[in-house]
Amino acid sequence: MILRGWMSGVTLATSSFVAALPQVTVIDKNIPLVSAKRNRSTESASERSVCALNSGLRRQSPRLTIVKGAADRAATTAASDAAEPRELDWSILMARAQAGDSAAYRRLLEEIAPYLRSLAARYHNDRSDIEDAVQDTLLTLHAIRYTYDAARPFGPWLVAIANRRLVDRLRRQGRLRARETPLTPTHETFPESRTNLEGELSDRYAVEAAIQKLPPGEQQAIRLLKLKEMSLKEAAAASGMSIGALKAATYRAVKSLKTILSRSEDK
């Protein structure tokens, strides 16, 4: 029984190493160990990444020691080893992005976007808010990417930026919402023309009644020029009146209408 426990522990530890190995190999292939174009700062960043990679490789070397409770420990190690290469991978990608590698930068941003989305989902419910928060974090990361030290883990750097931006965003939203009033159906209903139909109709009847009281010439002038919105030329052609007579009739009509309507309002 004990032997079986040991054996399963050894198997799990070995399988975790084997599972981690292909990922490390891929990372290794992506690192240009020698490049004539690199500047000094780039070189040091990449070298540090390689050192980090080597230390990562050293960490993952298999140890076939017989330890009590190895099965449980191996399971834990397998989980942490799965996270470590990803972190290491992001560190290397960021170091390469700092050196101007667009492909590495694109891959990094694409890989961290879902992670940032999950972080943002803790603070926001709305999907558009979550996407805005992710984009805000990506833009900030882009603006201060030179502050990342490739010798240090990438995760805390990323999470600190994301948390900072998320908290700032929540504060900004809080301030905005304190000054805003949500639109209710009542707000939308009152400005509608259909809601105010009764008032508009009564106004229309009052204007029509006032026009009826005007002399025929003024009535015709006001109907053609104001109600039908004709030009002076069109109104002159339609009525047979001269443009001057139309202007004078309209002037008198508007004046009379003002008097009639103000009188009816007083009543």
Partner 1 sequence: MITTPDLIDTLATNVPPVRTLRRPTMRAAGWVVFAALILGLLSVSEGFRPDLVSILRDPMFDLRVAGALFTGVLAAAAAFMVSLPDRSRLWLLLPLPALALWLSTIGYQCITDWISVEPEGMHLGEAAQCFATLVLTSAPLSLAMLIMVRYAAPLRPVTVSLIGSLAVAGFTAVALSLFHAIDATLMILVWNLGTAAIFAALAGALGKKMFAWVGPRPSIGRST
Q: Where do contacts with partner 1 occur on this chain (CB under 8 A)? A: 39, 41-42, 45, 97-103, 105-106, 109-110, 113, 128, 131, 134-136, 138-140, 142-150, 152-153, 156-157, 160-161, 164-165, 168, 172
Beta carbon of residue 136, minimum distance to partner 1 (angstroms, whole number): 7
For residues 84 and 78, what is the distance between their CA atoms, to the nearest angstrom? 10
Between 71 and 169, name the residue whose CB sits nearer to partner 1: 169
Q: How many other CB atoms are found less than 10 A from the CB of residue 108?
A: 24
Quote the crossing angle between the two packed helices 243-266 and 232-239, to the nearest 10°: 100
Minimum gap (Å) between residue 146 Cβ and partner 1: 4
For partner 1, give the closer residue by CB, 146 or 190: 146
161, 141 Cβ separation under 8 angstroms:
yes
Cβ-based nearer residue to partner 1, 91 or 220: 91
Rounded-to-integer distance, Cα 221 and Cα 165, Å: 66
CB of 257 to partner 1, least distance (A): 51
Output the smallest distance, CB 42 to partner 1, in A: 6
CA separation for the pair 102, 90 (Å, rounded): 14
Query: Closer to partner 1 at the Cβ: 41 or 65?
Result: 41
On the CB side of 1, how many CA atoms lie within 13 Å of its CA? 0
Residue 246 near residue 236 (C-beta atoms within 8 A): yes
Decide if 90 contacts 108 (C-beta within 8 A).
yes
Closer Cβ to partner 1, 114 or 244, answer by number: 114
Q: How far is the CB of 43 from partner 1 (least distance, A)?
A: 11
Task: Please give the Cα distance from 117 to 119 (Å, whole number).
Answer: 5
In angstroms, the CA 92 to CA 107 distance is: 11
Nearer to partner 1, 22 or 156 (CB): 156
For residue 144, the minimal CB distance to partner 1 (Å) is 5
What is the C-alpha to C-alpha distance for residues 228 and 149, in angstroms, rounded to an integer? 75
